[in-house]
Amino acid sequence: MDIRKLWFAWLERVDHRRSVDTERMRAIGRVLVRLRSREKSLLDQQRTVMDDEQRADLADKVSVLRAQRAKGLRALREWRRDRRARLRDGRPGK
């Protein structure tokens, strides 16, 4: 292979990897929005419920949702930080 073919092959791989990463992060973002709305609805239910047992059950569900959302936010922030560092260093792909 000559240099030009190698260069275009490398660019194609980097571009594909970047689009896959971007789509994955968009999907995570959509899930985070759903988790937030579900958490808000459960908190509203928790405020209206009078039974202590149901309230405790809803509190458990809210804590699970918060943990899942925190994990997703951490992954999203780490990905963005790594992407910015790569761009700053002049490396477009992983």
Work out the mean pLDDT of the chain and round it to a whole number. Answer: 87
CB 57 within 8 A of CB 87: no
Lowest mean pLDDT among 16-25, 45-54, 59-68: 16-25
Answer CATH for 19-89 from 2.60.40, 3.10.50, 3.40.50, 1.20.58: 1.20.58
| Domain edges within the chain | 19-89
Select the more confidently predicted residue: 8 or 45.
Answer: 45
Instruction: For residue 60, count other CB atoms closer than 10 A to its CB.
Output: 11
* Radius of gyration of the chain, Cα coordinates, nearest whole angstrom: 21
Q: Which two tokens stand for residue 30?
A: 């959509």
The tens digit of pLDDT for each residue in 9-18 reads 877 777 777 7
- pLDDT tens column, 46-55: 999 999 999 9
How far apart CA 76 and CA 65 sit, in angstroms, is: 16
In contact, 32 and 69? CB cutoff 8 Å = yes
Element (H, E) at 92: none
**Confidence at residue 20, expressed as pLDDT on a 0 to 100 scale:** 79
- pLDDT confidence of residue 77: 92
